Chain A
Amino acid sequence: MRNGFAQRMVDLAREDNDIYVLVGDIGFRIFDEFRSLFSERFINCGIAEQNMIGVAAGLASEGKKVFVYTIIPFLVMRAFEQIRVDVGINKSNIVLVGVGAGLAYDKLGPTHHAYEDIAIMRLIPGMVVSLPYDRGSTVKAIDKAYYSIPEQSSYIRLSKGGEPDINKPAFINEDLCTWKVRDSRAVIISHGALLNRFANMELQKKYKFDVIGVVSFSELTAANIINYLYENKMDNKWVVVCEESFRCGGVFEAICTELILSGRTLRIKSKAFPFEYRYEIDSREGFLDKQGFNISNVLKDLGV
């Protein structure tokens, strides 16, 4: 995903002299081409994320199109108040690109994990939260964010690198996509790199389940998901929301809130990280397996 991002930035920057990339001293090698071609528009702000967001907001206020890239906790947690004040309150829109979704930096420990970022970025009015799942969807997220400037800011949540490409889905709208099979018994809703554990035709046919991918999470996403399920007569199936984050402030909670507000019902369950910091040294895949983030476990839990 991160290489897809860096390559796309080169393509965009060739056409647009106002594009800037700011990094917090990370991105070894991936920005080599960008740096060599557009050294004036690549700023390594150092390990000073609060300043980096302020600088980005200042550049954006003068018409620059700024992409800020670093590891998720340092980008959106360390500098949260800068995002709130200088991007949100001052309406100086930029693109935040965070790397290390969920447990992508598994063995670097809990300081580098990201279980809370979606929730806190949803709290900034007008912020679009993008959750790409592979290289192709990353490029789409970057393009969408680029064309949203200066009207809107975006937070793009990348996993890391080397994620497999997933078969092309059908798109419900620009926020949601689906991978469907015949006679499904359940619907898995997920996002980001976790989708590649579910969006797999062979697996879906075997276990008879559909997948909905949330590629962009806004105020309307939950209502769109429920509408889609109702309009396609899928509201009688089990729905499980699988998220590589805490449950708090995620897609499951958003759907539940919308269900209560709209007086509709679904048979819905949540599969998210336990609400605690993780200290055990384990690979991301190992942890996801142990926590049952695979279809056979999810369906077993439902009793279907």
Chain B
Amino acid sequence: MDYLRRAKEISCRARTNIIKVVYRAKGGHVGGSLSVVDILSAIYSVVDEYDVEVILSKGHCLLAWLCVLKEIGEVSEEDLQEYYSDGSKFAGHPKKGSSKSITWGTGSLGHGLAVCCGKAMARPKTSYFCILGDGECNEGSVWESLMFMAQHQLKNITVIIDNNRLESLDLTCNILNIENLEQRLNGLKLNTVRIDGHDMNLAIDLFRRRLVIEDKMQPLVIVADTLKGKGVSYMEGVPMWHHRKLNEAEFRMALKELKEEVRQ
């Protein structure tokens, strides 16, 4: 199966949908959604036949998740259209049970990995993917959970840090610097790899190895270097696009850029 092609298709459509939905709904965290969407696309291009649970600990990027779930047929076009409107199924953060894949409610940062550890202990045969943000790693509770995961060698957990290096107001390194992440994680005796978080080929390879091959002797942390706002030039690396509405001109410019990217 051509996983990469599948992932690229998911990610292209999801990226465009993120822009469309944020423009229409006037809500949603656009910057982080664009940084994490390739990671989610890579995950969902390979997990089909496996027992997998995803926990989006950086829950504010729910929109990226929904747009990817739409591509695999789990979330309907109507539900995405209604995103953020009164009485709709989905809005700012994941609600437990709101979709088949959304098994845990997040939103407050620093919670997802602890819950994931509990789940992974209870169900050692299930593979867990837990997605954190780099800003989220400011939370002490994240490090409590990383220590716990290392201590108990919860080998069925793959942590992915969407390392877009930007928080809400500034660069992470100007707030509470977490680099160099590998050394910190290695210091916790955690097996760590750093990848380009937009290189889906690499991500797919890693995820497939975690699911298929016996490369699950220990927990793994993937530091995925990403770009906040990836795909829309005026958003890339600009803090204000953490959570901002688009005006019409911005919307048209973003769509144009994304279309060109598809062509290329």
Contacts and interface: CB of A to CB of B under 8 A. Distances in A.
Contacts of A55: 114-115, 117-118, 121, 145, 148
A6 B77 CA distance: 53
A147 to B, nearest CB: 20
Interface residues of A, number: 27
A46 B147 contact: yes
B114 A85 contact: no
B141 A59 contact: no
Contact of B147 (A48, A56, A59, A64): A48
B141 A61 contact: no
A229 to B, nearest CB: 41
A50 to B, nearest CB: 4
A150 interface: no
B85 interface: no
A212 B144 CA distance: 43
A259 interface: no
A80 to B, nearest CB: 11
Contact of A54 (B107, B141, B147, B151): B141
A55 B108 CA distance: 16
Nearest to A45: B148
B118 A58 contact: yes
Contacts of B105: 85, 89-90
Given A48-B144, A48-B147, A90-B96, A54 B108 contact: no
Interface string B206-246: 00000000000000000000000000000000000000000
Contact of B96 (A53, A59, A81, A91): A91
Residue among B116, B144, B145 having the largest count of chain A Cβ atoms under 10 Å: B144
A64 B105 CA distance: 19
Contacts of B106: 85
Interface residues of B, number: 28
A280 to B, nearest CB: 32
Interface string A61-99: 111100000000000000001100110011110000000
Contacts of B141: 50-51, 54, 82
Nearest to A54: B114
A91 B96 CA distance: 9
A54 B123 contact: no
A63 B107 CA distance: 23
B119 interface: yes
A43 B141 CA distance: 18
Contacts of B152: 43
B3 interface: no
B110 interface: yes
Contacts of A92: 115
Contacts of B120: 58
Contacts of B115: 54-55, 57-58, 61, 86, 90, 92
B251 interface: no
16 contacts: A43-B121, A46-B148, A50-B114, A51-B141, A51-B144, A54-B115, A55-B114, A55-B115, A55-B118, A58-B114, A60-B118, A61-B115, A62-B123, A64-B118, A86-B111, A90-B115
Given A48-B147, A55-B118, A58-B118, 4 more contacts: A50-B140, A54-B111, A59-B121, A64-B118
Interface of B: 96, 103-108, 110-111, 113-123, 140-141, 144-145, 147-148, 151-152
Interface of A: 43, 45-46, 48, 50-64, 81-82, 85-86, 89-92
**Shortest Cβ-Cβ A-B pairs, 3 listed:** A58-B118, A54-B114, A62-B122
